Amino acid sequence: KTWIKYWRAAVVALAPLCVYAIPHRLLFDESHTICLFHNLTGRDCWGCGIVRAITSVAHLNFTEAWNYHKAVVIIVPLLIYLWIKWLFRLVKTAK
C-alpha cells in the first residue's frame, strides 16, 4: 500500500503542470469572465484577475501577472510554500 502513497505524492508533485497546461487563449480572452460576482454586478471583485496572474507567473510573465493582480506577489509564494509542505508531508508518511 505504500505505492499508493507514493502515487499521491507524484500527483501532487505534478499538480503545478495543470496550471501551466491551461489554454492561454481560454483564460486571457477579455470578452468574457467566469467570475460570478462580476457577471451579476458588472463590477470586479477582490479576486478578479488572480487566476490570470497565477497562470502568467507559471508562464514566467511576471509583468503581465503584476498587471492582472498585485496580490500575486503574496499569493504565489504562499501557494508554493503550501504545495511543498503538502508534498513533503505525503513523502514523509509514505515511509
At 2, is the pLDDT very low, low, confident or very high (cuts 50, 70, 90)? low
Compute φ and ψ for 32, nearest 5 degrees. Answer: -145, 165
- pLDDT at position 62 is 94
- pLDDT at position 66 is 95
* CB neighbour class for 67 (10 Å; exposed up to 12, middle 13-18, buried from 19): middle
What would the DSSP string read from start to end of 27-43? HS-TT----HHHHHHSS
Query: Tens digit of pLDDT for each residue in 53-66?
Result: 888 898 888 999 99
Contact 50, 11 (CB under 8 A): no
pTM over 0.95: no
Residue 32 has pLDDT above 80, yes or no: no
Q: How many CB atoms lie within 10 A of CB 72?
A: 22
Average pLDDT over residues 7-20: 79
